[in-house]
Structure 1
């Protein structure tokens, strides 16, 4: 089958489009004819080094996707031709975390495109529990984005962040997929969202989507802007995936007892802890990655209720994957970069 795969680590020279062995469906698995996927930061990380992630080369790339059921067991709850999306975490089902329903914390989890062959291929076979019907009102590319970017944002904003209507959330780096998804979810909840960006046009786009305030970070002071907007109170929740470069601003923007949820460290992973601020103001610092299968079910129901559509910046055919990765590296997109796995 045709697939996009890694032969090593480095730049686009190690990313190839060619033949890979087709998966053999096992009992209880679902064979899916893939249609669409979107790019995530981990795709760049796997290309660049993959350090710390156990994997074997060559390896098919891509952590998530949308496709149509080609084969499944009669008791799977699915039917041939169903449009489905993939939860990328293949969990063991037997460890303490799986047994309590938080399979994303599984001690033996294997993620598509990281620990095992991924979704950027003609065919994928995964356990039926990792396959869910996609909302029918979404395009293949919109549906593909839900199971990583929006699921990550859902766990950050709803599960970990406990955001409620009329509360205020500060979202760093609007334009990236998780930040845009967090804005959509927060706005649908009925919260007030403040967003930051180095790019004025991204702030304009975010405000068109419902952001209450945009902070242009080359010119505006984040903490002063937040305190002016909240009448010196601070925000209830901070959503960030930047790390060291914004950590001080994030901490100082929180109300007493506020919550900071982080899912990344693109600017560095060793920020000053500021422990006095944490214990005196009784702040909560929460880590978050992806989300479990129940959270994906809840997210899909939420999307149906609010007719939420992931923002797709642009779509690339499979043979232009190098161009797609270059755009991802440049961080110029607003929303998701998608791949058409049929082209």
Structure 2
């Protein structure tokens, strides 16, 4: 089969597309003919190498897998060949594409228990946009953040996969959304998604602008998975009694926290990691109901995997990049 292989950790040139042995499903496993695989910033981290984590190389990343069951291993009775499924990337505390072999290939071997039936009316591309980005955003805003109707939420990095998901989920809840992104064109697209206020953080200080928008009250909730570059200003933009939510740190995790703001304003800092199976099932239902629309910037063939990495690293996308093997 053809697969995108990370030969060694480092830059984009270390990712190559070549022939690779087709996996064989064992007991309790299925072989998926991959129809679409979503790319995330996580794939960039995996390619560069995650400190403290050792991967057997070459490695196939890609955790957001949607496709058709091609073969089933012994003892599998919950799916059968021909079924259309979305794969939950979490496997016993590890993640497909990050810790385990992923789906940036023509075929992927996964536990049968991780197969979620794909409802009619959802394309493979839409399904593959959901797990990591939308699942993360759902848990962060709903489960951990307890976002409520009428609250004001500031979303940094709002034009990416998690960001566009967060904007839509926040509007579903009934919150007022302040979306921050790095270009006017992306902000216009965020406006179309429902964002109420827009901040170009390459032109304006997002913390000061949030203070103005909220009439010097600050945002009830702030989503900051950028980390080091934005964290100090996020602290200052938060309302008394507000919450700051984080699920990552794309610019570095050694962020400075001015604790004076934390105790004086009684700010809650809440971490959020991954999702639960029921979150993915809820997201699929919302897509079927037309209440949520996965934002896909472009769909690329497997052979253009390096271009996909470049686009994500250069922050040149709005929403998700999907790979079709």
Q: Same fold (TM over 0.5)?
A: yes
1:1-343 → structure 2 map (5 Å cutoff): 1-72=1-72, 76-91=77-92, 109-341=93-325
TM-score if structure 1 supplies the norm length? 0.89
Q: CA RMSD in A?
A: 1.8
Secondary structure of 1:67's counterpart equals strand
Using the alignment, how far apart are the partners of 1:310 and 1:131 within structure 2?
Answer: 20
Deviation for aligned residue 1:75? 6.4
In 2, are the aligned partners of 1:169 and 1:238 still within 8 Å (CA)?
yes
Secondary structure of 2:229's counterpart equals helix
Number of the residue aligned with 1:105: none
Using the alignment, how far apart are the partners of 1:60 and 1:219 within structure 2?
Answer: 38
Using the alignment, how far apart are the partners of 2:249 and 2:89 within structure 1?
Answer: 21
Number of the residue aligned with 1:102: none
Using the alignment, how far apart are the partners of 1:330 and 1:122 within structure 2?
Answer: 27
Deviation for aligned residue 1:208? 1.2
Deviation for aligned residue 1:169? 0.8
Deviation for aligned residue 1:212? 0.2
Using the alignment, how far apart are the partners of 2:119 and 2:6 within structure 1?
Answer: 31
Superposed CA offset, 1:291-342 (max 9, x none): 122322233233333441211111111111111111111111101111111x
Query: Is there any run of 5+ residues in structure 1 with no aligned partner, and where?
Result: 92-108
In 2, are the aligned partners of 1:188 and 1:306 still within 8 Å (CA)?
no
Aligned pair count reads 324
Using the alignment, how far apart are the partners of 2:138 and 2:77 within structure 1?
Answer: 26
Distance 1:297 1:219, change over 3 A: same
TM-score if structure 2 supplies the norm length? 0.94
Using the alignment, how far apart are the partners of 2:59 and 2:207 within structure 1?
Answer: 44
